[in-house]
Every structure is written in structure tokens, then in C-alpha cells.
Amino acid sequence: MKRWSCVALTLFMASVPAVRAGVITVNSPSDDRWHYPFNFSGGYRAQASVFGSVGNLDFDGFNDRDAMFYIAWNTTGQVQQGLDPADYDVCGVSVIVTNQAGATWRPDPTVDEWYTYDVNRDGVINADGVPRGSPGDGDGESYDQDQGRPIELFGLGFGDSLWSYENWTEARPYEGAICEPISQGGACQDLPRLPYPFVFQDETGVKLHVEDSAKGTQNEDIDVPLCSDPDGICPFTPIPWACGVPFGYIPGNQSVPFDVEFDIDLTLSNGLVRQYFQDQLSGGRVAVAITTLQLVAEQVVDPSYPSFLTKDANIPGTAPRLKVWFAPEVAGDSDEDGALTLSDHGAIVSCLKGPSKAPGYLAADRNHCLCTFDQDADGDVDLRDVAQFQADFGF
């Protein structure tokens, strides 16, 4: 069942810019780690695959989002560190990673509900064939309406002083659920990840763990409970900050590496996602987690789930990249000359797509248009924005 699209709609908000208007690109992270219990090489592995464990009885004790990719970029070389977070007028953020050649996984740019997975662990998704909540539903599951599973991007949360934003590096040891496969007689420890992927709870702004969102654990102690279960077992569907969109990808016939882009929706959680990136730019490093609940039959190298190249692959142009857009000082000033002129008029015409239509397919085009011309912050460039541009023309 689908309720949300992962296509980002960025938000324009006026403030004092900390950097010159436009976009900065950080072409390689300071830290990137395959966060997986059986990664014994720390942050020095050349590939980072992502997959989940929901519904695999042999891996029942692992975190739902089992193999994850944690990435952090040092931004101090391009953005002044230490300013008030509100001074960073961020209006667009995207992350680009490169998948290895030979992939066969199916893209899915939309969010899948937690109950479209095998949450009762009977080996079949929706064995009774009845959608969740409908008359005759006996397993609490529904079919997913399309092929594939989304690749998700979330914030990266940290724990105590041993796992802080300031001191976490790719060399830190893995911490999270770990066990041997059940078939091998393994015993499991149901532990949260540190660091952990998270979303903000809309009511409180609390960071919700999402590593076990289908299992419904790791959020038992929050002040506004996710559900009324006295044990705090509360499955939920976290809305990713972005879903990965591949470019130039032909599943099953992919002879070269290809890029996957995550265009982040800064409007989520009433702007707390945007604030997250403002805070991180002030701190000098930006960190995210890339995950998926796509199930694997065996935890081995397999082209049926995403596998991304890290900075340690040492292949030019394939390290994870970060792009951050900043709004112009003068709204509508596309060429950044301090005034609205005919050249800016030509730019707004090229961005004009109409109500509820995000301009541009690529994040670079979309974020430039929205950062520059979306003055009513509704995620499009339409005639209302043109009217405001005309009123300011010649400023």
C-alpha cells in the first residue's frame, strides 16, 4: 500500500546567509562505514550493501534494517563553521551514491507501509490474501502494490558521549543487534543501533529509532507513545527524508556503475529536517544513514540488493557526494547580481511548471528553481510566484 511519495519538495525561508547563494558540493566523505554486524574491516571496506531482515526466520534477531550505510562529510572547507544555525539559509540538500555494476534490484521511489512486509514471520507476505484491516484479515499484512522496495535516507542519531556527533568516526566498532543465524543455534541480543537512523516524532520533535520500525521496538520510553501497547511494541512506517532514485539503470543489464540520488525533503516534521542540516553545517559535518527493508535470502554478496561504492573504492567520481543549496539574498535573483532583471525573467520562465508540479527531474534543476523562485514555499513555481517576481522586478 502506498501513501507517500519520496519526491522531495524543498522549502524557501529567508534568513541571513552564512555562505554565498548557490550550491556547494563535497565530493568525498570524511567517514563512511558499512554498518553491519559482520563487517570486521571498520570503515575501510570498498562496498557498502544495504538490506533488511524482516520475514527471514533465520535472521529473526537482527535489526529490521540490518545492513546500513553511514556517511559523514566535513563541510568546513566550503561553509563557515560555528555560526548560529539559523544563519545557514539551506533550501536544498541531496546525496548521491554510486551502485556497483551488475545490479538487478528493482527501484521503488515510494514508501512501503510496515505491514507490507512479512511481519508475522510465517514465510509469506499476506498469506490470507486479505488487506490489513479488511473483513477476514487474519495475518495483519497487505500486499505491496509495486515491485521493489525503497532505498531510504534518514538522519543519523547519536547516543552518549562515547557515540557523539563530534567524536563518531568510521573506525568506531559496530554496536547493535547481533546473533548467529537461528539455523546455527545462535542466540541473539536485541539491541538498538549506535549511531542509529531516525526520524523526528512530529508531536514532540523526539528522535525515533527506525532500525526496528517493523518489529516495533527501540522507542518504548518516549514521552508520547507511538501506540497504546503497554509493552511499547509499536510498529510504524517512518517517512524517509528521501528515497533513492537511480539514473541510467537497467536492472539485470547493468554493465557499469550508476548513480542513485536522494533529494531530501526539508519540509518534513514541520521544518525539523531543515533544522537538522542547519545544525550540522554549524557543527562542521553532515551525517546521514542509508537503509532499506529489502529482504535478502542469504547475507552474501548479491546483485539483487543495492551495494554502494565507498570512498575506499578509490574509483574517481564514485565516492558519496553531498550537495547543499543556499537561497539567494534577493528572492528571484537567479544570476546573483543583486537585482531582478531580464536574465532572471528568462530563468523563472524555464522553471515555471504550474501548481503542485515540482520543477525539473534532477535535484540540481529542481532545487535551483525552488530556492530561487518558490516564494510562497509550496513546493512549485507557478503563477503566484511569477506575480511576486513581477511585483519585485527591477529591485
Phi-psi region of 282 (alpha: psi -120 to 50; beta: other; left: phi over 0): alpha
The DSSP call for residue 183 is G
Q: Identify how many contiguous H helices and E strands the chain contains and give both numbers.
A: 4, 19
Give pLDDT tens digits for 61-101.
789 999 999 999 999 999 999 999 999 999 999 999 999 99
Are 164 and 248 in contact, with CB atoms under 8 Å apart? Answer: no
286-320 per-residue burial string, b: 16 or more CB within 10 A, e: under 16: bbbbbbbbbbbeebeeebbbbbbbbbbbeeeebbb
Name the residue type at position 352. L
How far apart are alpha carbons 394 and 388 in whole angstroms?
12
Candidate from 148-152, 189-193, 236-240, 364-368 with smallest mean pLDDT: 364-368
Does pTM surpass 0.85? yes
Instruction: Specify the DSSP class assigned to residue 305.
Output: S
Q: What is the pLDDT of residue 5?
A: 59
What is the rounded distance in angstroms from the CA atom of residue 291 to the CA atom of residue 64? 10
What pLDDT is attached to residue 354? Answer: 67
Q: Please name which of 93, 77, 80 lies closest in space to residue 18, comparing C-alpha atoms.
A: 80
CA angle 332, 336, 337 (to 5 degrees): 110
Q: Do 35 and 174 meet the contact criterion of CB atoms below 8 Å apart?
A: yes
Q: Which position has the grid cell 542509508?
A: 290
Residues 6+ apart with CB under 8 A from 95: 71, 153, 242, 261, 262, 264, 288, 290, 320, 321, 322, 323
Q: What's the pLDDT band for 14 if we cut at 50, 70, 90?
A: very low
For residue 195, say if its preceding peptide bond is cis, omega within 30 degrees of 0. Answer: yes
Task: Give the confidence band of 351 by pLDDT, cuts at 50, 70, 90.
Answer: confident
Mean per-residue pLDDT of the chain: 87
Instruction: Place 9 in a pLDDT band, splitting at 50, 70 and 90.
Output: very low
pLDDT (tens digit per residue) in 227-284: 999 889 999 999 999 999 999 999 999 999 999 999 999 999 999 999 999 999 999 9
Residue 148 pLDDT exceeds 50: yes
